[in-house]
């Protein structure tokens, strides 16, 4: 690794937060193993039974509020602080561990657990408290129109214009802790590669879209990513 990268994009998934004690989605004890996606994570489910969907996300909040970033999140912050090129984080995670680690330039394409969006006026409410069908929008004051700001299946991802631009201009694309089965995020590596980026995948195991990655670093992100970041920072110093 000898290149001075100008634009680095890091795509993170649930696996980066596993070492912070948070369940991933598709592991044997994962979130989707205990719940039917169509009951809690589709726009139809929310329209059918908003109380149930609110309860599901409200129940997740205390654990996500308590969770602390791990060595992988901290390594990314170190890279952002120490590297000359721009480092952007595109995360599928609804937790706020990148923020807690002090990272910047974070795009939560699947939303955030600590936000609700008003379906009437689009206002985003930031809160770790419960949001219910009774919650009024603080902006337009309409009752019962707040939806968890989580992107449900059947909805558009957030920040896609910005992310598309970042993917096309990046020269290093790093995927960390994602199974690569949920599109469009699973296809980001293809866009980055098509536009000339070097591509690295960090995962504990092989994934289904690993074909597009130039390099695979197997292991727990909390161990592998800090080493990689150290190498990147040192390679930059060596080139000066």
Shorter beta-carbon distance to ligand OAD: residue 19 or 162: 19
| Cβ atoms 129, 146 nearer than 8 A | no
Q: Out of 108, 110, 215, 216, pick the active-site residue.
A: 110
Instruction: Name residues contacting ligand OAD, limited to 28-87 (CB under 6 A).
Output: 30, 41
Instruction: Name residues contacting ligand OAD, limited to 215-234 (CB under 6 A).
Output: 220-221
Burial 46-74 (b: 16+ CB within 10 A, else e): beeebeebbebbbebbeebeebebbbbbb
What 3-state class would DSSP assign to 146?
A: strand
189 contacts ligand OAD (rule: CB under 6 A)? no
Helices assigned H by DSSP within 22-49: 31-34, 37-40, 43-48
Residue of the chain from 60, 87, 151, 167 that contacts ligand OAD (CB under 6 A): 151
110 contacts ligand OAD (rule: CB under 6 A)? yes
Min dist CB 140 to ligand OAD, Å, is 26
Q: Active-site residue 110, yes or no?
A: yes
Residue of the chain from 19, 55, 130, 162 that contacts ligand OAD (CB under 6 A): 19
115 contacts ligand OAD (rule: CB under 6 A)? no
149 contacts ligand OAD (rule: CB under 6 A)? no
Residue nearest to ligand OAD (CB): 15
15 contacts ligand OAD (rule: CB under 6 A)? yes
Query: From the CB of residue 139, how many other CB atoms can be counted at a distance below 10 Å?
Result: 13
Phi-psi region of 150 (alpha: psi -120 to 50; beta: other; left: phi over 0): beta
Min dist CB 75 to ligand OAD, Å, is 12
Element (H, E) at 62: helix 50-66
96 contacts ligand OAD (rule: CB under 6 A)? no
Burial of 183 (0-12, 13-18, 19+ CB in 10 A): exposed
Shorter beta-carbon distance to ligand OAD: residue 15 or 226: 15
Q: Which of 126, 123, 142 is nearest to 134 (CA)?
A: 142
Interacting residue ranges for ligand OAD, rule: CB under 6 A: 13-15, 18-19, 24-26, 30, 41, 92, 110, 151, 177-179, 182, 202-205, 207, 220-221
């Amino acid at each position: 690794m000898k290149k001075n990268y100008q634009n680095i994009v890091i795509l993170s998934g649930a696996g980066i937060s596993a070492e912070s004690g948070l369940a991933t989605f598709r592991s044997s004890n994962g979130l989707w193993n205990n719940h039917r996606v169509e009951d809690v994570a589709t726009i139809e489910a929310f329209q059918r039974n908003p109380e149930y969907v609110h309860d599901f996300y409200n129940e997740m909040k205390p654990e996500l509020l308590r969770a602390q970033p791990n060595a992988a999140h901290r390594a990314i912050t170190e890279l952002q602080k120490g590297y000359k090129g721009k480092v952007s984080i595109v995360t599928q995670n609804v937790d706020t561990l990148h923020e807690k680690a002090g990272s910047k330039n974070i795009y939560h394409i699947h939303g955030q657990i600590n936000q609700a969006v008003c379906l009437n006026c689009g206002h985003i409410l930031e809160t770790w408290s419960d949001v219910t069908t009774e919650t009024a929008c603080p902006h337009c004051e309409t009752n019962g129109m707040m939806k968890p700001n989580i992107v449900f299946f059947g909805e558009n991802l957030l920040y896609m214009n910005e992310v598309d631009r970042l993917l096309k201009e990046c020269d290093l694309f790093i995927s960390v802790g994602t199974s690569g089965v949920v599109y469009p995020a699973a296809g980001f590596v293809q866009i980055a590669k098509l536009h000339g980026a070097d591509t690295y995948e960090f995962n504990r195991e092989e994934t289904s879209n690993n074909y597009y990655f130039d390099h695979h670093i197997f292991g727990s992100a909390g161990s592998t990513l800090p080493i990689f970041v150290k190498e990147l920072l040192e390679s930059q110093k060596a080139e000066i």
